[in-house]
């Protein structure tokens, strides 16, 4: 399971709430609707790029030649620059997309030991 690197992270409560919403939903379509509700949270913009690939970015962030804006809509992205660092991340799952908020990195946890996050998904 992915966790925030610091337990006292100010956005951790928002992420826990987001994951709680996703945990309630059953099925892919319902999970996408749950993620769409997360788009109402300040600072979060997301889009489904292609089947099975999502991008989450800071609201207003410039990604290539595209500006991320809050809302549930498909967008066409310009070529992505190398190094998938903040202010956006690419995610292969809706659950992973929900864990990324405001460009913060998520670390994979093993027995509550936080390791370094992967460079790319």
Give the tens place of pLDDT for each residue, 101-114.
433 444 433 332 33
Give the tens place of pLDDT for each residue, 32-76.
666 666 555 566 666 666 666 777 776 666 665 566 666 544 444
Domain boundaries in the chain? 2-74+83-109
91 falls in which pLDDT band (50, 70, 90)? confident
Q: How far apart are CA 39 and CA 49, in angstroms?
A: 15
Q: 16 — phi, psi (to 5°)?
A: -60, -40
For residues 8-19, give the mean pLDDT: 57
Q: DSSP code of 72? A: B
Laid out side by side, the sheet with 88-91 consists of 44-50, 53-58, 88-91
Query: Terminus-to-terminus CA distance in the chain, angstroms?
Result: 15
Note whether 8 and 104 are within 8 A (CB). Answer: no
The region that residue 46 occupies, defined by phi over 0 for left and psi between -120 and 50 for alpha, beta otherwise, is beta
Across 18-22, 32-36, 82-86, the highest mean pLDDT is recorded for 32-36
93 falls in which pLDDT band (50, 70, 90)? confident
Higher pLDDT, 32 or 4: 32
In this prediction, residue 74 carries a pLDDT of 44
């Amino acid at each position: 399971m992915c966790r925030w690197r610091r337990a006292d992270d100010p956005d951790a409560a928002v992420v826990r709430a987001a994951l709680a919403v996703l945990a309630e939903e059953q099925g892919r379509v319902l999970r996408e609707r749950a993620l769409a509700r997360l788009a109402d949270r300040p600072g979060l913009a997301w889009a489904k790029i292609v089947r099975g690939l999502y991008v989450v970015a800071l609201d207003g962030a410039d990604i290539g030649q595209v500006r991320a804006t809050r809302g549930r809509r498909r967008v066409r992205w310009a070529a992505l620059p190398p190094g998938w660092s903040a202010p956006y991340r690419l995610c292969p799952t809706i659950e992973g997309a929900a864990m990324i908020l405001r460009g913060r990195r998520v670390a994979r946890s093993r027995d509550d030991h936080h390791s370094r996050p992967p460079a790319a998904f």
